[in-house]
Amino acid sequence: MTEALSDHVRAAATRAEVREAVERVYAELQNEIDARRPVCNASGRCCRFEEFGHRLYVTTLELAAFVAGLGEASRAEREWDGTGCPFQVAKLCSVHTIRPFGCRMFFCDATATAWQNERYERFHAELKRLHERLNVPYLYVEWRTALAALGLTPQATPSPEGAGRLSLPQLQL
């Protein structure tokens, strides 16, 4: 599955209609978020998966849009301790503008739980329909597993601060 995921994502990332379709879904979602105004205190807890007790899953199209938008972020050296999201830097998202759907949809705001669940199902269904319409195989994969399949997981390279820290390699398309 890892090789197939990588092949599908890389092929879809080169297609403008794929990127534009995902951007439209994200824009529509943002309009609904703006109307609801759920609270985000920018604590970064949502990116620390083990600590917060959840995982992030992504679709093939989301990964394609992410890879297409990654650009300079893939060339920047990042340290990562192997937990949470490797793109979280100083408790903030270093890829905020291209973050996946689940990151856009999740808020710590307890008053938004029912709203989030309903919108998640609705927008995820739209992403699934886009896979079919755009003829991109639908895969739903845990974020870090997907990053590993794309060669975006950190390699065991010691940082200047010492052992136990890892750096992300450059993305090769």
pLDDT in tens, 11-65: 999 999 999 999 999 999 899 888 888 777 767 777 888 887 888 999 999 999 9
State the total domains in the chain. 1
pLDDT at 64: 96
The stretch 147-172 carries a mean pLDDT of 52
Residue bearing the bigger pLDDT, 134 or 2: 134
Structure tokens at 155: 């390699």
Q: Where are the beta strands (DSSP E) in the chain?
A: 57-59, 79-80, 88-89, 92-93, 140-142, 166-167
Query: Distances from the Cα of 162 to the Cαs of 89, 96, 107, 156, 158, in angstroms?
Result: 17, 28, 34, 12, 6
Residue bearing the bigger pLDDT, 20 or 104: 20
Is 39 exposed, middle or buried, given 0-12, 13-18 or 19+ CB atoms closer than 10 A? exposed
The secondary structure of residue 32, as a DSSP letter, is: H
Q: Is residue 172 part of a domain?
A: no
pLDDT at 173: 35
The predicted-structure confidence for 8-18, as pLDDT tens digits, reads as follows 999 999 999 99
pLDDT at 142: 94
pLDDT at 78: 65
The predicted-structure confidence for 108-158, as pLDDT tens digits, reads as follows 777 777 777 888 899 999 999 999 999 999 999 999 999 989 988 765 334
Q: Is residue 130 part of a domain?
A: yes
Q: Is residue 52 part of a domain?
A: yes
Q: Is residue 27 part of a domain?
A: yes
Structure tokens at 21: 């379709």
The stretch 1-12 carries a mean pLDDT of 89
Q: Is residue 173 part of a domain?
A: no
Q: Write out the residue range of the structural domain in which residue 114 sits.
A: 2-167
Q: Is residue 119 part of a domain?
A: yes
Kindly give the residue spans of alpha helices, DSSP state H, lying in the chain.
Answer: 2-13, 16-36, 49-52, 60-70, 72-75, 101-105, 113-133, 143-149
CB-based contacts of 6: which residues, under 8 Å, 6+ apart? 149, 150, 151
The stretch 66-82 carries a mean pLDDT of 72
